Amino acid sequence: MLKIGLIGYGTVGRGVYERLEVSKASISAVLGEECHVEAILIKNEQKHRLLEKECLVTVDWAEFQQAGPFDLIFEAIGGLEPALTYTLAYLEKGIPVITANKKLVAEHGAKLEEVAESNQTYYGYEAAVAGGIPIINVLKGLLPTTGISRVSGILNGTTNYMLTEMIENHRSFAEVLIEAQELGYAEADPTDDVGGFDAWYKIRILSRLCFGQWPNTELFHCQGLTALEDWHAEVGERIGLKLKLIGEAHSINGHVHGSVAPAFLTKTEALASVSGVTNGVSLEGKDIKQLLFIGPGAGKEATANSMVEDFLFHRRYQGNRLSANVESIEEIPFRYSLVFIKQAERDTALQWVKEQFIQVNETYSHPEGEAWLVPSVYEVNAQFPSYHVYGEITSSYAEESSSAQLGTF
């Protein structure tokens, strides 16, 4: 009998408990032995009274530990502390820990993986990236020697859900954020979602797997949706571009760079059609061309499914990617940016492009202001919100732009 300790009983913790219960028979068929949750460590006394489980349910860390020894820990509390202390305590004893905690993995993954390895155990973090999409174990288990030059994705379900509802159903930012929280998509502190940090942790984890080492955080820029105004997305829609929060990392000339930022995607980009809470991950390399993974990015069942499968995967297989299979992209994946100029700022913006010799390729008008299409090589001006455009801008965009200027929004 495998004895399991569950740390946390919020949305994800509850999902793991329920998934282990309903899949008891199939899990034991796969493992050849049964598993049982021996103890749950919870935060809230109130909930404690409501739980009637065939196991210890406690708010006391010491009491939880005494319910062991465990064969496996699921950590489902989020944040850095006390998750780091709890995780280290078990990895140091050689007990595997499975987590969905992207912040902890991105910030302390290097150390935690090292501790796991030196204690002949594992630290599984499949559920930390893209919820229900099994991208981590695909990279570790199925593509351990495949050359990869670029990874990109829609990695935050909350903001993708919000953007979809705002753009397609004309709903307000505040309203859809509350709904995303109610649906269990958003973080306890939704600033992590809206500010881009949640996706930033995830692209750093993907970068570690694709390029063999934990990235230099300073080379990974993070920008969320906080500067976004409705009319930016409206202009994009009008000319056939989809606004998405994109996490991206690539290797070029021996260096790995990454970012999270809102960006416009042409219709030909595979991620342009990924809507709602759905996430998408794209891997590019010489042999694979482009591999796409699309699925639920958040939510109780999808995340719990990834955690339980992560445990089963690691029980049967120990895989990893090394750094020897890094390829280099041939050119930067965006050539243009759209810069948004409010009516009142037009003179300042004209002065800026004149002084910097910036070539404005197209101008798209809107009652709120103008969007200028400029080559991405120019330094951004913090005063004007600017978004990279992924995909080929063809003459049809220029034609549409002419009608956009004449048309009404």
Query: Known catalytic residues?
Result: 202
Q: Which is nearer to ligand HSE, 161 or 340 (CB)?
A: 161
- Distance (Å, whole) CA 403 – CA 388: 22
CB of 329 to ligand HSE, least distance (A): 26
Q: Which is nearer to ligand HSE, 281 or 339 (CB)?
A: 281
* CB neighbour list of residue 263: distance below 8 Å, 6 or more residues apart: 243, 244, 245, 246, 334, 387, 388, 389, 390
Q: What is the DSSP string of 121-150?
A: --EE-GGGSSTT--HHHIIIII-TT--BSE
**Cα-based distances in Å from 219 to 249, 251, 272, 388:** 10, 12, 25, 17
Please report, as ranges, the residues that interact with ligand HSE according to CB under 6 A. Answer: 131, 156-158, 185-187, 193, 198, 297-298
CB of 139 to ligand HSE, least distance (A): 17
CB of 110 to ligand HSE, least distance (A): 20
CB of 129 to ligand HSE, least distance (A): 8
Q: Which residue is nearest to ligand HSE (CB)?
A: 158
Q: Which is nearer to ligand HSE, 258 or 297 (CB)?
A: 297
Q: Copy the structure tokens of residue 348.
A: 């300042």
CB of 214 to ligand HSE, least distance (A): 19
Q: Which is nearer to ligand HSE, 191 or 328 (CB)?
A: 191
Q: Copy the structure tokens of residue 115.
A: 């501790």
- Distance (Å, whole) CA 364 – CA 241: 12
Identify the bridge partners of residue 345 per DSSP, sorted by sequence position: none
Q: Which is nearer to ligand HSE, 298 or 389 (CB)?
A: 298
- Distance (Å, whole) CA 335 – CA 391: 8
DSSP letter at 265 equals: E
